Amino acid sequence: MKTIKMSFSLMLAIIVALVSSCKVDKIEPLEKNTNAPGPVSNVKFTAGPGNAVLTYALPTDKDLLYVKAIYTLANGRVMEVKASYYGNTLTVEGFGDTDEHEVKLYAVNRSEIASAPVSIKVKPLENPIWGVFRSMKALADFGGLRFTATNPAKADLAIEILTEDSKGRMMPTTKNIYTSTVDIDQAIRGYDPVQRKFAITIRDRWLNYSDTLYTTLIPLFEAEIPKTGYKAVTLPSDVALHTATALTGLWDADLLNWPKVMMSSSAVLTPQWVTFDIGKLSALSRIVIWDYPEYLNGRTYFYGGNLLDFEIWGTDNPPSDGSFTNWTKLGTFKAKKPSGAAYGANTTEDIAAGQAGLNYTFDAGIPKVRYLRIKSLKNWQGTTFMSIGELQVYGDPR
């Protein structure tokens, strides 16, 4: 028994010694220079839209690591921006007004010791939300509201839309638009053709808001033309298809997967077209086309055989010889890549637009039609073959 007690005591002592010798690891700078670096000097700024670009001279401290700016936005949000010591410029942004704002600059060394602050007052130019707001126009569209605006600064913006509920209260929708494109042309849909009030406001990513545009309008009637009535039509002048695909790939509810798409012959380099029946004589409002995303860096839209310049034709009686006799051109269209990025490159906004489908609206007053023809003039690759994942036609079949 005595031996057992001694062994237990020894073990307890060892454990206590081990625990007491353990130290909590603490992340600290590798260098330990407690002397503050010299401040930046000769600070100047150039005003930009909602921002200011600061330039300065760096101190001569050899262990300088970065320069940081601290400032407060009008909404009370404290901002901190850092810039490497390899350069001498720093951008402060997020300003929603054109008032003067104080910015404090600090030089920081490798021991995370900051210099005394150097203050400068900056006066930014107008935030892009205001120019976008002033340029905005809102009109009744099929199934909802269509609005256009210009965003020359290509600012990252959210367009927030509210509409009245059954009790007349203005409530947020789930149809906000996020864009950085120059020419904004967007629509929200899904509303009945009854008078409705909408409110639209512009917000940037720093939560600066424009004024609110209010409009009361009646959405135009439209309905989906049911895909169950779509049928393939093959006329003498229609282009041949890729041997693995069929025209039914346009309406099989599969947007992505090969070969459940429609791809036409790449051997034809002149304008080419395909024809199909939508099943009902209808006054058409728009067509939504989902481009087939090619396998490039994942899946890539606005690429290859995706339509760039094209026409939509319609008729109620297509001639059997495949000519364009009796056909009416319903619209000439050009696909727009939201970001304007280089060919083969997609931004998040580009991908979202491709996944949602591209809307092409027909002018009011076109004749009722039952048969449609898609005529490709030019694809994104620069030839004329078509790669289409899916389509949906809308209008009034009553």
Domains of the chain: 41-122 (2.60.40.10), 128-217 (2.60.40.10), 223-396 (2.60.120.260)
Q: State the Cα–Cα distance between residues 170 and 225, nearest whole angstrom.
A: 31
User: pLDDT category, 28, cuts 50, 70, 90?
Assistant: low
* 393, 312 contact by CB (below 8 A): no
Q: State the Cα–Cα distance between residues 241 and 264, nearest whole angstrom.
A: 4
Query: Is the pLDDT score of 4 beyond 90?
Result: no
**What pLDDT shows up at residue 12?**
53
In a 10 Å sphere around its CB, with 0-12 CB exposed, 13-18 middle and 19+ buried, how is residue 90 labelled?
Answer: buried
Residue 54, amino acid: L
Query: Is the pLDDT score of 60 beyond 70?
Result: yes
Helix (H, G, I), strand (E, B) or coil at 132: helix
Give 319's contacts (C-beta < 8 A, 6+ positions apart): 325, 326
**What pLDDT shows up at residue 1?**
40
Cβ atoms within 10 Å, residue 362: 21
Chain length of the chain: 398
Would you give the DSSP letter of residue 176?
-
Q: State the Cα–Cα distance between residues 233 and 327, nearest whole angstrom.
A: 15
The 10s digit of each residue's pLDDT in 335-372 is: 999 888 999 999 999 999 999 999 999 987 899 999 99
Q: State the Cα–Cα distance between residues 8 and 16, nearest whole angstrom.
A: 12
Q: State the Cα–Cα distance between residues 111 and 37, nearest whole angstrom.
A: 10
Q: Which of 3-7, 104-108, 168-172, 356-360 has the lowest mean pLDDT?
A: 3-7
* 304, 386 contact by CB (below 8 A): no
Q: State the Cα–Cα distance between residues 134 and 130, nearest whole angstrom.
A: 6
Q: State the Cα–Cα distance between residues 35 and 217, nearest whole angstrom.
A: 67
Cα maximum dimension of the chain: 113
Which helix (H) or strand (E) segment holds residue 178: the answer is strand 177-179
Would you give the DSSP letter of residue 259?
T
**What pLDDT shows up at residue 331?**
95
Q: How far apart are the first and last CA of the chain?
A: 100
**What pLDDT shows up at residue 187?**
87
Q: How would you classify the pairing of strands 64-72 and 78-84?
A: antiparallel
Output the CA angle 361-200-352, nearest 5 degrees. 55
**What pLDDT shows up at residue 168?**
86
Query: Is the pLDDT score of 166 beyond 90?
Result: no
The 10s digit of each residue's pLDDT in 154-164 is: 999 999 999 99
State the sign of the Cα–Cα–Cα–Cα dihedral 234, 236, 240, 244: positive
**What pLDDT shows up at residue 203?**
96
Q: State the Cα–Cα distance between residues 277 and 359, nearest whole angstrom.
A: 20
Q: What is the pTM of this model?
A: 0.72
Would you give the DSSP letter of residue 270?
S
Which of 367, 234, 248, 351 lies closest to 312, judged by CA?
367
Q: How would you classify the pairing of strands 183-189 and 144-150?
A: antiparallel
- Residues above pLDDT 90, as percent of the chain: 81
Burial 159-187 (b: 16+ CB within 10 A, else e): bbbbbeeeeeeeeeeebebebbbeebebb
**Average of per-residue pLDDT values in the chain:** 91
What mean pLDDT comes out for the span 60-79?
95
Which of 379, 383, 295 lies closest to 337, judged by CA?
379
The 10s digit of each residue's pLDDT in 76-121 is: 999 999 999 999 999 999 999 999 999 999 999 999 999 999 999 9
